[in-house]
Amino acid sequence: MFDRPESEGNRAVLVQLDFGEGGVSEQLAELQMLAGSAGAETLALVQGRRRAPDPALFAGSGKVDEILAAAQAVAADIVIFNHELSAGQQRNLERVLQRRVIDRTTLILDIFALRAQSHEGKLQVELAQLEHLATRLVRGWTHLERQKGGIGLRGPGEKQLETDRRLLGKRVALLKDRLRQLEKQRKVRRRSRERSEIPVVSLVGYTNAGKSTLFNALTKAGAYAADQLFATLDTTSRRVYLSEAQRNMVLSDTVGFIRDLPHSVVAAFHATLEETSRADILLHVVDASSPDREAQIDVVNGVLQEIGAGDVPQIQVWNKMDLTQGVPGVEEDGYGKISRILLSARTGDGLGLLREALASRLFPIEVAGEADQAEPVFPTESSDQKSS
């Protein structure tokens, strides 16, 4: 659905440096998935260790020479760093490597631009891209620093770069105004839900943890789900019935989080992510099959703190148990509250446990009342044997 046609200009060399933080192999695997999601063909990988980034070239002159050799050997068009580069570092690297250089932030924003489908999603992505661009307009625009001149180009003396900055600022202001209007509409819908006292549950989690697959399993909505990063970008909400007693909730699925999520993305998606902070419960979906799952949990919780959703009650949903040979089940904390559900959204194993857990957390009085009204079960010899 989102695959780009194969074309020239996407042959890539990937660069991952180790600054002693650990988890390099997982980060490199994630970079390969990001590059693939953006439509790049990975032809070479370059790794290295440094104590700190080089101020001018980020990787140091020796490592940059190695990157250049690798790029020339495979005729690469682009070099992708799994790090955030300054405008100066990016400009210096492009001059030495003689090809396009992009960093992690630019790569993620490119994928977001590829995934956005709704009007609001496209506005949010464009805003994030423009705000990122505003910090580095000097890169690649040095030829525009000259005064306007020539027939039809003589003006009041304003430099082209200054004109571009001014026009970019106007576009950013326009996008923010449109997003504020959409936010007002969302608030109206939210007040309507609050008046009807329908609880809201939001799916959160690291990208590719299986949130959309779980969303489809619970709602039968048919939302797009794929084994790729940021398969879902636009927020989708559906009503879900939890039991035959017509207890229901609104379930929302939105963009997944990722380590080093660009601040421009968090700022641009503030209105959408704010919905998460107003949920009654967060279902924190975790890829149980990932060796990096604990670090991913920390990343998600860090972003939740940043958007003001750190205090919203959570239930962790350890998904993809079918890939771990694990058994679906329920785990409780020291206070007897359900803290973790083990399931497989793909096979459906454990979904019933999740529905029961949500019903007991969202409607505790009603669920307890139903349990009290249930017919008593008198022990028999066989039931005693089963319980022993």
Q: Can you tell me the distance from the alpha carbon of 345 to that of 358, in angstroms, rounded to the nearest whole number?
A: 16
Long-range contacts from 50-56, C-beta under 8 angstroms, 24+ separation: 50/17, 50/18, 50/19, 51/19, 51/20, 52/19, 53/17, 53/19, 53/83, 53/89, 54/89, 55/89, 56/88, 56/89, 56/92
pLDDT tens track, the chain, 388 positions: 444 444 456 899 999 999 988 778 888 989 999 999 888 999 999 999 999 999 999 999 999 999 999 999 999 999 999 999 998 999 999 999 999 999 998 998 888 888 777 788 788 888 888 888 877 765 444 444 444 444 444 444 456 667 677 788 888 899 889 888 887 877 777 676 666 678 889 999 998 899 989 999 998 866 656 555 666 666 788 888 887 656 788 898 877 888 887 777 777 777 667 778 889 999 999 999 998 899 999 999 998 998 889 999 999 999 999 999 889 999 988 878 888 999 999 999 999 999 999 988 888 766 555 555 555 544 444 444 444 4
Here the tokens at position 373 are 């009204």
Taking each helix axis from N to C terminus, what angle separates 211-219 and 351-362, rounded to the nearest 10 degrees? 80
Largest CA distance in the chain: 102
Token output for 299 = 């990343």
β pairing state of 78-81 and 100-102: parallel
- As a residue count, the chain comes to 388
Residues in CB range of 373: below 8 A, 6 or more apart: none
Domains recognised in the chain with CATH numbers? 11-102 (3.40.50.11060), 198-371 (3.40.50.300)
Q: Check if the beta carbon of residue 286 is closer than 8 Å to that of residue 206.
A: yes
The structure's pTM equals 0.76
Q: What is the pLDDT of residue 273?
A: 77
Residue written as tokens 């007693």? 245
Task: Output the CA torsion 340→344→345→348 (10° steps).
Answer: -110
Q: Of 243, 223, 244, 246, nearest to 235 (Cα)? A: 223
Torsion angle of C-alpha atoms 53, 57, 61, 63, degrees rounded to 10 = 60
Helix (H) or strand (E) holding 314: strand 314-319
Please check whether residue 207 is in contact with residue 256, taking contact to mean a CB–CB distance below 8 angstroms.
yes
* Amino acid, res. 208: N
The DSSP annotation for 121-133 comes to HHHHHHHHHHHHH
Of 79, 83, 75, 3, which Cα lies nearest the Cα of 36?
Answer: 3
